[in-house]
Amino acid sequence: MSSPLKHWKAALFRHETILLAVLLAEWFYFDSVGRRFGTLDNTFDILRHSSEIGLLALVMTPIMLTGGIDLSVGSLLGLCAILFGKLWRDAHFSPGLAAACTLGIGAIAGGLNAGLITRLRLPPLIVTLGTYSLFRGLAEAITHGVDTFTDFPASFLALGQERLGGLPTQAWFFFAVAIAIWLLVHRTTFGRALRAIGYAPEGARYAGLPVERRLASAYILAGVVAALAAIIYTARLGQAKADAGTGYELFAITAVVLGGTSIFGGAGTVHGTLLGVATIAVLSNGLVHARQPREVAGMLTGALLLFALASGEISKRLAKFRARRHAPNPAVPVPAPHSQ
């Protein structure tokens, strides 16, 4: 009987619905308080400001589904941004060629993480903590800290600042990546493999899944998407600096966890992550319209994260309690809460 499994699924489903309710509540509240909040211009602002972090959160989701984490994506954004600038300014590549090379560099950097994690079976937290310092350090070393890259051609800047077909240009890339990653995670065997690896790595191995290959792909993908985010960031700002993207990895993790992905792996959805990104972005933007200081946005985001976690845990326990009540027969095992 799949009664405990049904309860498990139901709990997860409720998480995204609750998050959606919070998002809508935020929206209606800020719309009533802020005169210009509900306008199209502001919505586009929100889209523009959250594209890069959104991309990082999207690509963090498959990684966290496997029970891993990648703390280096923000630093990689900075490194890719300055390398992009360098290729364009000093090597005289066209923006398109420089962008393509940057995506390749992102893949290589992601490959470094992937190699250390899959080959040497090192814990992702510590490996990416090391590359977090290493990538940022390389960015600072290459630019000597002081070099910045500016004066990009207007056609390139249009990527970050203009509109295309009614939406901000980068939004198209964001949506494309969002759809691609959603399909990857929810509709392919690749995604199912990731989930299995997160839920029970040894079991997945015995089941014949190519665990190392799947993990490596997830981290390399993160590198490529971080590079894409770097290019969009540079276009939006009109400038590439070594400290670009500082702190973005924490935002990304917050959004993913808020969206219901378990940090232990095995459970989570891409649409949850998107809701998480939207919730944080709307909160941050709305508080400006509500004339609240920026620090309040940070504190409320932290509080929201704790509430989301706590309520998720409490609902899981309620489900387990209910399951035990419905199946008092000791022959029916109740699944233990999944923990490391």
Partner 1 sequence: MLGKYFRELSVAAVLVVLLLVLAIAAPAFFDAQPLFSRLARDTPTLVAACGMTLVILCRQIDISIGSQFAVCGVCAGMLAAGKAPVFVVCGAPLLIGAALGAINGALVAGLRLPSIVVTLATMVIAREGLRWAQQGAFINLPDGLQWFGLAQRSGQCALIAFALLLLAAMAWAMRHLAGGRFVYAVGSDAEAARLAGLRPQLTTFLVFVLMGALTGLAALMNLAQSPQVDPKSGTGLELKAIAAAVVGGVAVSGGRGRLWGVFAGVLLLACINPALTYLHVEAYWEKAIQGAIILLAVVADGMRSRKAREA
Partner 2 sequence: MKQFLPFFLLLGLALGPGCQKQSEQSDSAGGKKLTIALMPKSKGNAYFISCKAGADEAVKEVGADLIFDGPTEPDPAKQNEIVENWITLGVDVIAVACENKEGISTALKKAKAKGIKIVTFDSDANPDARDFFVNQATPEGIAEALMDEAARLTGEEGEFAIITASLTAANMNEWRKHIEARLHEKYPKMKLVDTKPCDDLKDKAQTEATNLLSANPNLKLIMAICSPAVPGAAEAVKQAGKTGAVKVIGLGLPSENRKYVHEGVTQSVILWKTTDLGYLTIKVAADLAGGKLKPGDTVYHAGRLGDLEVKGDSIILGKPFIFNNENIDQFDF
Query: Nearest-CA neighbor of 190 among 178, 175, 180?
Result: 180
Total binding residues for partner 2 by CB under 8 A? 60
The residue among 197 and 249 lying less far from partner 2, judged by its C-beta, is 249
CB of 144: closest distance to partner 1 in angstroms?
Answer: 6
H or E segment to which residue 167 belongs: strand 167-168
CB of 99: closest distance to partner 2 in angstroms?
Answer: 18
The residue among 129 and 237 lying less far from partner 1, judged by its C-beta, is 129
Collapsing DSSP states into helix, strand and coil, what is residue 163? strand
- How many C-alpha atoms does 285 have within 13 Å on its Cβ side? 25
CB of 225: closest distance to partner 2 in angstroms?
Answer: 18
Choosing from 254, 269, 284, 285, the residue that interacts with partner 1 (CB under 8 A) is 254
Among partner 1, partner 2, none, partner that 244 touches (CB below 5 to 8 angstroms by kind): partner 2
Burial class (CB in 10 A: 0-12, 13-18, 19+), 21: exposed
For 238-289, where are the alpha helices, taking DSSP H only? 248-258, 270-289
Collapsing DSSP states into helix, strand and coil, what is residue 101? helix
What is the separation of C-alpha 7 from the centre of its chain, rounded to a whole number of angstroms? 27
70 lies in the site for partner 2, by CB under 8 A: no
CB of 327: closest distance to partner 2 in angstroms?
Answer: 22
Choosing from 96, 104, 145, 210, the residue that interacts with partner 1 (CB under 8 A) is 145
Among partner 2, partner 1, none, partner that 290 touches (CB below 5 to 8 angstroms by kind): partner 2
Total binding residues for partner 1 by CB under 8 A? 48
Rounded Cα gap, residues 232 and 157, in angstroms: 9
Q: Which residues of 94-119 are buried (b: 16+ CB within 10 A; e: fewer)?
A: ebeebbebbbebbbebbebbbbbbbe
CB of 219: closest distance to partner 2 in angstroms?
Answer: 23
Rounded Cα gap, residues 229 and 320, in angstroms: 40
Rounded Cα gap, residues 170 and 43, in angstroms: 14
290 lies in the site for partner 1, by CB under 8 A: no
31 lies in the site for partner 2, by CB under 8 A: no
Choosing from 134, 167, 263, 290, the residue that interacts with partner 2 (CB under 8 A) is 290
The residue among 161 and 167 lying less far from partner 2, judged by its C-beta, is 161
Choosing from 94, 153, 210, 307, the residue that interacts with partner 2 (CB under 8 A) is 307
Rounded Cα gap, residues 24 and 32, in angstroms: 12
Rounded Cα gap, residues 71 and 130, in angstroms: 9
CB of 289: closest distance to partner 2 in angstroms?
Answer: 6
Q: Which residue has the tokens 């989570």?
A: 268
DSSP string, 41-89: HHHHHHHHHHHHHHHHHHHHHHHHHTT---TTHHHHHHHHHHHHHHHHH
39 lies in the site for partner 2, by CB under 8 A: yes
108 lies in the site for partner 1, by CB under 8 A: no
Binding footprint of partner 1 on the chain (CB under 8 A): 69, 116, 120-123, 125-127, 129-138, 140-141, 143-145, 250, 253-254, 257, 262-264, 293, 295-296, 298-299, 301-303, 305-306, 309-310, 313-314, 337, 339-340
Binding footprint of partner 2 on the chain (CB under 8 A): 14, 18, 21-22, 25-26, 29, 33-36, 39, 41-42, 45, 48-49, 140, 143-146, 148, 150-151, 157, 161, 233, 236-239, 241-248, 285, 288-296, 298, 300, 303-304, 307, 310-311, 314-315, 318
